[in-house]
Amino acid sequence: MQVGTAVAVGTLSVAVGLACAGCSGKQDTGANVPVEYAEALADDEDPDTFQVKFETSKGEFIVEVHPSWAPKGAARFRELVESGFYDDCRFFRVVPDFVVQFGINGDPQVQAKWRDKTIEDDPVRRPNKRGAVTFATSGPNSRTTQIFINLKDNSHLDEMGFAPFGVVVSGMSVVDSIESKYRQIADQGRIQMEGNAYLTANFPDMDYVIRATVVDDSSKKTGPTPPDSGGQDDSP
């Protein structure tokens, strides 16, 4: 699903204008919750909040998930993480100043098992600001496994029904550094059918998730760290 001036967020195509072996980067130890979400996180008292650490070929980042923002999306995300689904997934679509997208499993047999396991939409309760994490979709009630991280303020996606379920609270600079030279030329159909073999052969420098794990819940939540001031861009 490509985007000319259309959003291909996931198996999605919505009008909008939307391998290295090991971790070579450093974990971003600085505090960098995107400024747009710092206040919202400070005020949020969601008792079911949890955190997921992504170890990637560029370093680590942490997503804080708030089920109250998008209950169905948050539950599906946790299910996928705990099943190991995102391990070894490639960041197959990286559009600078827009989104980083991933969530097609490298094993076609595993991907096939999830392809038709759609979940119903959640209301959009939080904006698609920089750092917000959201499921991709191809239409109403079509979310499955693909997610994207907003690299800037993409609030125009809100009215299209893209409902954030979490936000990057640490390591946003790692997300910003994910290899973008391939942009969105990888064929999603071939990824689905051929898996990582296709990506490794044709896009050898594509970054990827090494491992994703639930590392925290509301009982241990530390709250937001100071905001990241970089990477803001108001233009689409």
Provide the pLDDT for residue 22: 33
Q: Mean pLDDT over residues 157-175, rounded?
A: 97
Instruction: Write out pLDDT tens, residues 128-144.
Output: 999 999 999 999 999 99
The residue ranking higher by pLDDT, 224 or 48, is 48
Provide the pLDDT for residue 46: 74
Instruction: Write out pLDDT tens, residues 170-219.
Output: 999 999 999 999 999 999 999 999 999 999 999 999 999 999 999 976 54
Three-class DSSP category at 189: helix
**Entry pTM:** 0.79
b or e along 99-128 (b: 16 or more beta carbons within 10 Å of the residue's beta carbon)? Answer: bbbbbbbbebeebeebeeebbebbebebbb
Contact 2, 13 (CB under 8 A): yes
CATH topology of domain 6-228: Cyclophilin (2.40.100)
What residues does each domain of the chain span? 6-228
Token pair of 59 as six digits: 């370093």
Please provide the distance, in angstroms rounded to a whole number, between the alpha carbons at the two ends of the chain.
18
Instruction: Write out pLDDT tens, residues 41-86.
Output: 666 677 899 999 999 999 999 999 999 999 999 999 999 999 999 9
**90: DSSP letter:** B
Mean pLDDT of the chain: 82
Q: Mean pLDDT over residues 140-155, rounded?
A: 98
Provide the pLDDT for residue 55: 99
